[in-house]
């Protein structure tokens, strides 16, 4: 889809609109689900292939890359997580690589994937202007909230598992003021702080990737100057993409480490 075919407002709106099915609360963003599952499968099959063919001799370049990522996450977990749980390191690896792969779609020229979807839609008899494809899952708030909600559920689960229901309630009511007549005030503060953790996770990832995607769209509207400007912003974005995946991962490990504390 060329930017000249639509007004600037229509062009931006079209790129930021999801391929949706359903109405209201039950609306499903098909493109977000499809691309996130596709990136997840790439992660699973590529890492599994390395695990099956790994050898102690001369490793391939891809095996070296995978081993570097695994070692990096392992060292990060060891220095951050202070409990004992064999699930945390694989969970951190999955979160980091999955979010990284979803973020990397942002480097694909913004017109390419929507234009391809439009051509497929036109071949199937659909109006190209009504074919939507928002390819970067992490620019969808539904996706980032779903990821953060999964982390939040694990936080609650391990808090109750390690401390018991009574210990978890005591943690929410006796801090920061260990005075019975202020327990209600402590509970309000602690619940707000607890809910703020997944909310900040979701909004930070969404905000940074959404802003980056929007800038790519604005650059695409410049026409002939698109490629050099796209390259410059893409080079800067190479820092943002892994950084946001790492921040989400490290905060997940920190929150789960806090959930494993007994006091």
Catalytic residues: 200, 204, 208
- Block residue for tokens 């026409």: 223
pLDDT band at 173 (very low <50, low <70, confident <90, very high): confident
Sign of the four-CA dihedral 31, 37, 38, 40: positive
Q: What is the pTM of this model?
A: 0.90
H or E segment and range at residue 37: helix 30-53
Within 13 Å, how many C-alpha atoms sit on residue 171's CB side? Answer: 19
- 3, pLDDT greater than 50: no
Distance CA(232)–CA(227), nearest Å, equals 9
Of residues 184 and 197, which shows the higher confidence score? 197
Classify each residue of 191-204 as buried b or exposed e, where b means 16 or more C-beta atoms within 10 Å of its C-beta.
eeebeebbeebbeb
| Confidence grade of residue 14 (pLDDT, cut at 50, 70, 90) | confident
Mean pLDDT of 202-212: 95
More confident residue, 242 or 111: 242
Range from 8-12, 99-103, 113-117 carrying the lowest mean pLDDT: 8-12
Average pLDDT, rounded, for the chain: 89
Q: Residue 92 pLDDT > 80, yes or no?
A: yes
Q: What is the per-residue pLDDT for 6?
A: 66
Task: Give yes or no for a contact between 115 and 220, defined as CB atoms under 8 angstroms apart.
Answer: no
Residue 175 neighbours by CB under 8 Å, 6+ apart: 186, 190
Break the chain into its structural domains and give their ranges: 3-259
């Amino acid at each position: 889809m060329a930017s000249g075919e639509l007004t600037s407002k229509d062009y931006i709106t079209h790129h930021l609109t999801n391929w949706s099915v359903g109405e209201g609360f039950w609306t499903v963003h098909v493109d977000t689900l499809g691309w996130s599952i596709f990136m997840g499968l790439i992660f699973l099959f590529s890492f599994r292939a390395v695990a099956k063919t790994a050898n102690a001799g001369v490793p391939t370049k891809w095996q070296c890359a995978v081993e570097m990522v695994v070692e990096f996450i392992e060292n990060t977990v060891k220095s951050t997580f202070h409990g004992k749980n064999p699930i945390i390191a694989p969970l951190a690896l999955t979160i980091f690589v999955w979010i990284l792969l979803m973020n990397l779609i942002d480097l694909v020229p913004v017109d390419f994937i929507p234009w391809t979807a439009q051509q497929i839609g036109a071949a199937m008899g659909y109006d190209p202007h009504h074919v939507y494809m928002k390819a970067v899952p992490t620019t969808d708030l539904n996706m980032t909230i779903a990821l953060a909600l999964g982390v939040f559920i694990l936080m609650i689960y391990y808090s109750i598992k390690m401390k018991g229901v009574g210990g978890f309630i005591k943690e929410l009511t006796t801090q920061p003021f260990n005075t019975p007549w202020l327990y209600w005030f402590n509970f309000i503060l602690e619940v707000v702080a607890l809910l703020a953790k997944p909310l900040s996770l979701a909004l930070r990832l969404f905000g940074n990737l959404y802003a980056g995607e929007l800038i790519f769209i604005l650059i695409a509207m410049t026409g002939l100057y698109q490629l050099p400007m796209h390259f410059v912003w893409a080079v800067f974005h190479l820092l943002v993409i892994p950084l946001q995946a790492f921040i989400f991962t490290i905060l997940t490990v920190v929150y789960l480490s806090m959930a494993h504390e007994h006091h």
